[in-house]
Amino acid sequence: MIEFEDVTKRYPDGTVAVDKLSLRIPSNQITVFVGPSGCGKTTSLRMINRTIERTGGTISIDGQDINSQDPVTLRRGIGYVIQNAGLFPHRTVVDNIATVPRLLGWDKRKARGTAMELLERVGLDSKLAGRYPAQLSGGQQQRVGVARALAADPAIMLMDEPFSAVDPIVRHQLQEELLRLQRDIGKTIVFVTHDIDEAIKLGDNIAVMRVGGKLAQFAPPAELLAQPADDFVRGFVGQDRGYRALTFVHPETLPMKPLPDELALQDGVPVGWRNGSEELLPVGSVFQRGDSLRAALDAVLTSPTGWGVVVDEEGRAVGVVDQSAVAEALRS
Ligand SMILES: Nc1ncnc2c1ncn2[C@@H]1O[C@H](COP(=O)(O)OP(=O)(O)OP(=O)(O)O)[C@@H](O)[C@H]1O
């Protein structure tokens, strides 16, 4: 656990970036700092690895005050990922990833071996190992950044707007990959973003901050959406929080109907809707039994027939739900 107790940062010019911040960041989970520009997110994050020194209060990791540790040693045990990846331009991908293990004194072969494993783990082809950062796409660079931060197997990862500089599709992929990776590695991740949707998607807990470096609310996303602490949080979470909250509703009881004849299948996988002409209409989005009500609603809204298709883990259609069933679930 990382604990902030009355932590303050006053910059030399008098700016109070963080003001008496107290919170507990649980281990092995993703905690997201979110808030408007200038609210002190980055400052809070960087005080954890002491790249910014606090001016008041205490920060401890597993009960030990970080000021009692040598900052260089502290930093080597904490992965750090930033926007635009921050890769060393004159080092190849594999050498970038191997940076911290090499600093820790691992021999070159072992460090490179680990780097190659990590390359695969973050979804990159081993062929990219010998390239330089400028020869990669933005999304690939971010993946290398994540691999580099993971190389020494730190218990903690700090991520400062790591996916902000890539286009929305790549961003979505990187978010999915991070969640997949986290299911395997279970690190204590502290993630900074100004995007509430990203916070809701990734966070086990979300710390909403307001300008002046004050904590407005610390809660799991479902609670934040259902019970914003005040008007500031309500405004920040946005008008459509009711719709977003459906992400956390898992309707176990949506009545499913048998597959209608109009649904065309190929090896059980839905490929389109028949409507009397040669061309099939697109299926729309599909969802699985355990998915959220948001996914079910999306499926019925994007299906040209109003039937949302339910699939199994292999993507094979198992039934459909109709709009009235989803509307009923929304009311309950
Ligand atoms: N070196 C510095 N000297 C003086 N003030 C600073 C310094 N660094 C940051 N600040 C100020 O501290 C406040 C918090 O900055 P910080 O970068 O932590 O905010 P942030 O929430 O991460 O913002 P953004 O989302 O725009 O990156 C801002 O008012 C900023 O101008």
| Number of domains comprising the chain | 2
Q: How far apart are CA 263 and CA 254, in angstroms?
A: 20
Ligand 1 touching residue 37 (CB < 6 A): yes
CA distance 310 to 255: 11
315: left (phi over 0), alpha (psi -120 to 50) or beta: left
The model's pLDDT over 116-127, given as tens digits with 9 standing for 90+, comes to 999 988 888 999
Domain that holds residue 113: 2-247
Q: So what's the pLDDT on residue 77?
A: 86
Give the position of tokens 């700090």. Answer: 158
Ligand 1 atom with the smallest distance to the CA of 42 is 22
Compute the average pLDDT of residues 155-177.
86
- What pTM, to 2 d.p., does this model score? 0.80
CATH number, residue 105: 3.40.50.300
At 299, is the pLDDT very low, low, confident or very high (cuts 50, 70, 90)?
very high
**pLDDT-based confidence at residue 24 (cuts at 50, 70, 90):** very high
Q: Are residues 34 and 153 in the same domain?
A: yes
Whether residues 212 and 274 fall in one domain: no
Q: Looking at per-residue confidence, does 174 or 157 come out higher? A: 157
* Ligand 1 atom 3 nearest Cα: 11
Mean pLDDT computed over 23-34: 96
Confidence of residue 43 (pLDDT cuts 50, 70, 90): very high
Q: If we measure between CA atoms, which residue out of 186, 181, 145, 140 comes closest to residue 162?
A: 145
Residue 141 Cβ inside 6 Å of ligand 1? The answer reads: no
Q: Is ligand 1 within 6 A of the CB of residue 15?
A: yes
What is the distance in A from the centroid of ligand 1 to the CA of 199? 20
Check whether residue 211 and residue 301 sit in a common domain: no
Same domain, 160 and 299: no
Do 281 and 144 share a domain, yes or no? Answer: no
Nearest protein CA to atom 4 of ligand 1, as residue: 11
Would the pLDDT of 253 be above 80? no
Top pLDDT among 324 and 245 is at: 324
CB 252 near ligand 1, within 6 Å: no
For ligand 1, the distance from its centroid to the CA atom of residue 49, given in whole angstroms, is 17
**317: CATH:** 3.10.580.10
Closest ligand 1 atom to residue 192 Cα is: 22
User: What pLDDT does residue 76 have?
Assistant: 81
- Residue 174: per-residue pLDDT: 84
Q: Both 36 and 147 in a single domain?
A: yes
Angle between helices 108-121 and 138-150 (to 10 degrees): 130
The per-residue pLDDT for 239 is: 63
Q: List pLDDT tens digits, range 258-286.
A: 999 999 999 999 999 998 888 899 998 89
Q: Percent of the chain having pLDDT more than 70?
A: 99
Task: Determine if ligand 1 sits within 6 Å of the CB of residue 260.
Answer: no
Mean pLDDT of 200-216: 92
Element at 111 (helix H, strand E): helix 108-121
Residue nearest to atom 29 of ligand 1 (CA): 38
Give 81-101 pLDDT, tens digit per residue.
887 778 899 999 999 999 888
